């Protein structure tokens, strides 16, 4: 059913395919990860136990002082920078067939949701095709792992998105999305329990050693009752399943949760989902973060967006409240701009969240809101933050490598350039001619990355976790 997706072409082959020297020196204009940077830098890789391992990393001048084997191969990339492969903590690969679409934020979020509903595909083969296209575009953008939302069209819970990801060269978690509020709250709990009873064991076996994890995604606070969230949390704790949800995405969500009014209520009424039992949970002058807090404090949940996180208004300090939980945030910079949140809610408070100790990651959301039809990658979200907000390099690389590795249960060490580490991969990016600052040059360009090394299995944690 799923077609084979080839791993990306790389400059350095895996050791079992590589018949040249067992030590490689890479020289580049800049070598940087979430914590270190060397310019111009050198990275020495050597084969150890059939994997490439980082033997040394430093400035080129410092590496020149080392005693290196005479038969080492040198890869000279004076016009490139080297970074770890990227993680996209929040995307919807099964919407890739829709492609980028225009959107007028002044019309609100609901017409956009209607457009997505109208374009959702139902057949397994077509869904596999869309996810496959998304994986190809992710790899084209230097993405090695995703937090992917697997939609359940017509409330039918489907295996096909996770199977497609598991049979691809990529890593990540496929979060099975569901809706359950009002008239649909009890039916979804039954459907979920039946699905897990019938599928989970076989799915876990099939996923073994693929680097892909099964997760659940109760959709959002305006489509999931708190009772359903609590049930999802119980199931997640019982089966050790990671959870993701959309949280505090829009002002419309804030109105729905705090007052019980607005277009999101209208949406539920239009589809016959609204019943007055919902009013027992909402309309209590609570912010969506406060509303979800009893669930968030039970277990780590990856929360997408969290665009609306006030610190000093009528609701109190929502970032402080979030920081009392193990929540990870997937901020989607280009989605935030596309949906007009920059104008209505102001800049995203990701820096304040990081300062409060929250694990903030970057996501792209679906290709529908991206300006890069050929690739799906947080590289271009880093570029937006670097050019608009002057966000520092190490902050950007943390939010696209080590932080999302934590959130998606991957090994952050595979994204840290330190001697003794086995890298999950290496990307190179072209620096503009005669540019004095290689990082700034790459952040202000629109070029795609190249894969130097692709070793995703190095990021897969082994043993009990
Ligand atoms: Zn989303």
pLDDT of residue 354: 98
Task: State pLDDT tens for residues 376-413.
Answer: 999 999 999 999 999 999 999 999 999 999 999 999 99
Strand order in the sheet with 171-178: 86-91, 143-150, 171-178, 212-218, 243-247, 301-305, 328-331, 359-362
Q: How far is the CA of 91 from the centre of ligand 1 (A)?
A: 6
Q: How far is the CA of 302 from the centre of ligand 1 (A)?
A: 11
327 in Cβ contact with 304 (< 8 Å): no
Q: How far is the CA of 151 from the centre of ligand 1 (A)?
A: 10
Q: Where are the domains of the chain?
A: 15-84+416-459, 86-412
pLDDT of residue 88: 98
pLDDT of residue 79: 96
424 in Cβ contact with 459 (< 8 Å): yes
Q: How far is the CA of 37 from the centre of ligand 1 (A)?
A: 32
pLDDT of residue 1: 52
Residue 69's pLDDT band (cuts 50, 70, 90): confident
Between 80 and 50, residue with greater pLDDT: 80
Q: How far is the CA of 244 from the centre of ligand 1 (A)?
A: 10
Q: How far is the CA of 260 from the centre of ligand 1 (A)?
A: 22
Q: How far is the CA of 45 from the centre of ligand 1 (A)?
A: 38
Task: State pLDDT tens for residues 1-22.
Answer: 556 899 999 999 888 877 778 8
244 in Cβ contact with 215 (< 8 Å): yes
What is the CA angle 425-139-218, rounded to 5?
Answer: 105
pLDDT of residue 164: 97
What is the CA angle 375-84-207, rounded to 5?
Answer: 75
Task: State pLDDT tens for residues 160-189.
Answer: 999 999 999 999 999 999 999 999 998 999
Closest CA to 112 of 304, 300, 269, 250: 250
Task: State pLDDT tens for residues 407-461.
Answer: 999 999 999 999 999 999 999 999 998 888 999 999 999 999 999 999 999 999 8
How many other C-beta atoms lie within 10 A of the C-beta of residue 355? Answer: 12
Residue 464's pLDDT band (cuts 50, 70, 90): very low
The pocket of ion ligand 1, defined by CB under 5 A, consists of 304, 365
Bridge partners (DSSP) of residue 53 are: 46
Q: How far is the CA of 304 from the centre of ligand 1 (A)?
A: 6
Task: State pLDDT tens for residues 93-132.
Answer: 999 999 999 999 988 777 888 899 899 999 999 999 999 9
Q: How far is the CA of 95 from the centre of ligand 1 (A)?
A: 10
Q: How far is the CA of 198 from the centre of ligand 1 (A)?
A: 27
Q: How far is the CA of 148 from the centre of ligand 1 (A)?
A: 9
Provide the 8-state DSSP code for 324.
T
pLDDT of residue 307: 97
- The pLDDT of 29-50, averaged and rounded, is 96
Q: How far is the CA of 177 from the centre of ligand 1 (A)?
A: 10
Give the span between the Cα atoms of 77 and 31, in whole angstroms. Answer: 11
Q: How far is the CA of 92 from the centre of ligand 1 (A)?
A: 6
Between 108 and 367, residue with greater pLDDT: 367
pLDDT of residue 193: 92
Q: How far is the CA of 330 from the centre of ligand 1 (A)?
A: 9
Give me the residue label for tokens 């708190």: 226
Give the span between the Cα atoms of 360 and 159, in whole angstroms. Answer: 28
Q: How far is the CA of 245 from the centre of ligand 1 (A)?
A: 8
Q: How far is the CA of 132 from the centre of ligand 1 (A)?
A: 18
Give the span between the Cα atoms of 134 and 93, in whole angstroms. Answer: 5
Q: How far is the CA of 116 from the centre of ligand 1 (A)?
A: 12
377 in Cβ contact with 341 (< 8 Å): no
Q: How far is the CA of 301 from the centre of ligand 1 (A)?
A: 14
Q: How far is the CA of 246 from the centre of ligand 1 (A)?
A: 6
Q: How far is the CA of 338 from the centre of ligand 1 (A)?
A: 13
**326's tokens:** 């193990």
pLDDT of residue 15: 83
91 in Cβ contact with 380 (< 8 Å): no
Interior/surface letters 376-397, b for 16+ CB within 10 angstroms, e for the rest = bbbbbbbbbbbeeeebebebbb
Q: How far is the CA of 77 from the centre of ligand 1 (A)?
A: 37
Q: How far is the CA of 418 from the centre of ligand 1 (A)?
A: 33
What CATH number matches the domain at 86-412, 3.30.365.10, 3.20.20.70, 3.40.50.720, 3.20.20.140?
Answer: 3.20.20.140
283 in Cβ contact with 259 (< 8 Å): yes
pLDDT of residue 318: 97
Q: How far is the CA of 48 from the centre of ligand 1 (A)?
A: 40
What does the chain come to in residues?
465
Strands (E) in 352-407, as ranges, are 359-362
In angstroms, the Cα distances linking 413 to 85, 198, 427 are 12, 35, 16
Q: CATH topology for 15-84+416-459?
A: Urease, subunit C; domain 1 (2.30.40)
Task: State pLDDT tens for residues 306-351.
Answer: 999 999 888 999 999 999 999 999 999 999 999 999 999 999 999 9
Closest CA to 330 of 177, 455, 146: 146
Q: How far is the CA of 365 from the centre of ligand 1 (A)?
A: 5
């Amino acid at each position: 059913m799923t077609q084979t997706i080839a791993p990306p072409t790389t400059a350095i082959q895996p050791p079992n395919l590589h018949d040249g020297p067992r030590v490689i020196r890479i020289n580049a204009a800049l070598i940087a990860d979430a914590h270190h940077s060397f310019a111009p830098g050198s990275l020495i890789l050597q084969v150890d136990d059939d994997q490439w391992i980082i033997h040394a990393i430093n400035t080129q001048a410092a590496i020149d002082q080392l005693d290196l084997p005479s038969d080492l191969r040198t890869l000279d990339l004076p016009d490139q920078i080297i970074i770890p492969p990227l993680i996209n903590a929040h995307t919807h690969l099964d919407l890739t067939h829709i492609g980028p679409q225009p959107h007028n934020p002044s019309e609100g979020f609901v017409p956009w949701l209607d457009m997505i509903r109208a374009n959702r595909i139902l057949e397994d083969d077509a869904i596999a095709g869309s996810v496959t296209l998304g994986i190809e575009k992710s790899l084209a953008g230097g993405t090695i792992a995703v937090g992917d939302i697997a939609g359940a069209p017509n409330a039918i819970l489907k295996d096909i998105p996770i199977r497609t990801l598991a049979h691809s060269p990529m890593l990540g978690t496929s979060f099975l999305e569901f809706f359950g509020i009002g008239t649909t709250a009890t039916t979804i709990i039954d459907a979920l329990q039946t699905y897990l009873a019938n599928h989970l064991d076989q799915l876990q076996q099939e996923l073994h050693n693929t680097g892909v994890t099964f997760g659940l995604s109760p959709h959002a606070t305006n489509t999931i009752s708190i009772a359903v969230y609590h049930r999802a949390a119980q199931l997640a704790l019982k089966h050790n399943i990671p959870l993701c949800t959309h949280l505090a995405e829009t002002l419309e969500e804030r109105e729905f949760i705090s007052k019980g009014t607005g277009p999101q209520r209208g949406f539920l009424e239009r589809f016959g989902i609204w019943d007055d039992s919902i009013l027992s949970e909402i309309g209590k002058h609570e912010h969506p973060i406060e509303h979800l807090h009893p669930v968030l404090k039970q277990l780590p949940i990856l929360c997408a967006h969290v665009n609306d996180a006030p610190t000093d208004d009528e609701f109190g300090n929502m970032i402080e409240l979030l920081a009392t939980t193990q929540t990870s945030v997937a901020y989607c910079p280009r989605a935030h701009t596309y949906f007009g949140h920059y104008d209505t809610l102001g800049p995203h408070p990701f820096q304040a969240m990081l300062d409060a100790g929250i694990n903030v990651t970057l996501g792209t959301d679906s290709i529908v809101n991206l300006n890069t039809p050929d690739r799906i990658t947080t590289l271009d979200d880093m570029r937006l933050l670097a050019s608009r907000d002057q966000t520092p390099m190490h902050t950007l690389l943390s939010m696209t490598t080590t932080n999302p590795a934590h959130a998606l249960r991957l090994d952050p060490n595979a994204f840290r350039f330190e001697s003794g580490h086995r890298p999950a991969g290496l990307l190179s990016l072209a620096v503009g001619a005669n540019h004095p600052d290689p990082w700034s040059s790459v952040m202000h360009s629109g070029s795609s990355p190249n894969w130097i090394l692709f070793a995703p299995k190095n990021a897969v944690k082994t043993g009990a976790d």
